[in-house]
Structure 1
Amino acid sequence: MRRDSALLIVDVQVAQFEPTPPYQAATVLARLNQAIAKARQQGMPVIFVQHDSPPGTDLAPGSAGWALHPALQRLADDPVVHKTVGDSFYRPELHALLQQLGVRHVWIGGSATDFCIDYAIRSALSHDYAVTVLEDAHTCRNRPLLTGEQVVAHFNWVWRNMDETPQALRVCKVAELD
């Protein structure tokens, strides 16, 4: 049992996947569900981070796009932490929950690779959490200068090559999680 670890699923909301799906959307959702199953098998909490944007936007609370993606295997008692900026740790809610649960290590996957996932990884490290990046369970849409595939590959490379992090940083496929 990994009682000191938790899985963070960041911003996997309907508007992030529809109507224009990001890179490998269906595959990423399936891999996130595999990670959820592995986390549950190990007794790890599964925490969903949900972005709240201002009224009138795609991620406004209560809007159809704001909802967590229905393909996720979420249980009714899984915690949901809300955020209003890219950094999941900006307000103390997530950090306080992880501290309450005794978590020192987080697995991270979700959307969008180049914004909220990168923020979550770097902020988790700066809050002294060891981090495992789910290299095949994060995604984004095409960007003006790079495809979604290129963004994902680039950030996996960046995270693999980050030196001198305050805690361990591992990048691995969902199938390799232990």
Structure 2
Amino acid sequence: MESWKTAWRSFYYEGAPDAPDPVLERGRVALLVIDVQNTYLARPDPATLTGEELARYHRWTPFHARMHGTVIPTIARLMDAFRTGGNPVVFARIAALLPDGRDRSLSQRKPGWNDLLLPKDEWESQVVPALAPRADEIQVTKTTDSALTGTNLRLVLQNMGITHVVATGIFTDQCVSSTVRSLADESFDVILVEDACAAGSQDLHEQELRILNRIYCEVMSAEELLGFLPR
């Protein structure tokens, strides 16, 4: 099996030296779970659908299979490891602060698939039950794609002494990507766990991993990450 040090290299890093092993210190590495919310996992009964709606249902089936079969179990495993080792677990979710959603950024209001109104207290905007935050764990509510741009998460992480952020969640090519880039710009070391995130299609997911790898983060599997995690 190919190592994380070479598996996700893009054109820019062909022939570049291998990345060094991350040095993770207990209490200074945080797990960030991005946008794994009820609205994205809810599905209609296909028996009620016809035409383009039914075709769209089937186009999204691989995403749901990956989420339930790989991503959610992997994030749950990471959450358990972080909690057991005394390393913080932090959650970010898209949620409008106002009922009509006029506080949302333009990227969250453009007509089309991304135009979802998710009031902060409604069921649709909550983290899925399988990954429910504990009462003492931080949740930030964002009206932007990046979990840093529209929240105080950068300040909170810095106040906690966090140097490394392990990113997980959905969607790899949208809010996960925006958050990883923002974290890198704020000089956090970022590890993106490839089997703990998903895009609408596997092609989009893998394409974004290669774009982000090395310059904005190091991409590795959960198993590889756990080998470096302090316990």
TM-score range, shorter chain: 0.7 to 0.9
Per-residue CA deviations over 1:127-170 (Å, capped at 9, x if unaligned) read: 010000011111132xxxxxx1111111122222x44x5xxx21
**Which one of the candidate residues 114, 134, 139 is aligned to 2:173?**
114
Which stretch of the first structure deviates more once superposed, 32-41 or 17-26? 17-26
SS at match of 1:71: helix
Could you tell me which amino acid in structure 1 is paired with residue 42 of structure 2? E
Q: For residue 46 of structure 1, what is the aligned residue in structure 2? A: 89
Q: For residue 121 of structure 2, what is the aligned residue in structure 1? A: 62
Per-residue CA deviations over 1:103-150 (Å, capped at 9, x if unaligned) read: 011000001111100001100000010000011111132xxxxxx111
Could you tell me which amino acid in structure 1 is paired with residue 92 of structure 2? V
Aligned residues: percent identity?
A: 26
Give the superposition deviation at 1:85. 0.5
Q: Distance in 2 between matches of 1:157 and 1:95?
A: 25
Could you list the structure 1 runs, at least 4 aligned residues long, displaced by more than 6 angstroms after superposition.
none
Where in structure 2 are the equivalents of 1:28-177 lying within 5 Å? 28-53=71-96, 55=99, 57-141=116-200, 148-160=201-213, 162-163=214-215, 169-177=217-225
**Which one of the candidate residues 32, 53, 76 is aligned to 1:8?**
32
Q: How many residues align?
A: 167
Whether contact under 8 Å (1:36, 1:73) holds in the other structure is: no
SS at match of 2:81: helix
Which stretch of the first structure deviates more once superposed, 20-29 or 68-77? 20-29
Which stretch of the first structure deviates more once superposed, 68-77 or 13-22? 13-22
Q: Distance in 2 between matches of 1:171 and 1:2?
A: 20
Could you tell me which amino acid in structure 1 is paired with residue 141 of structure 2? H
Give the superposition deviation at 1:2. 1.8
Whether contact under 8 Å (2:94, 2:143) holds in the other structure is: yes
Q: For residue 145 of structure 1, what is the aligned residue in structure 2? A: none
Q: For residue 18 of structure 1, what is the aligned residue in structure 2? A: 42
Give the superposition deviation at 1:41. 2.9
What CA RMSD, in Å, does the superposition of the two structures yield over aligned residues?
1.8
| Max Rg structure | 2
| Structure with the higher helix share, 1 or 2 | 2
Q: Distance in 2 between matches of 1:104 and 1:43?
A: 15
Gaps of 5+ in 1: 142-147
Give the superposition deviation at 1:58. 4.6
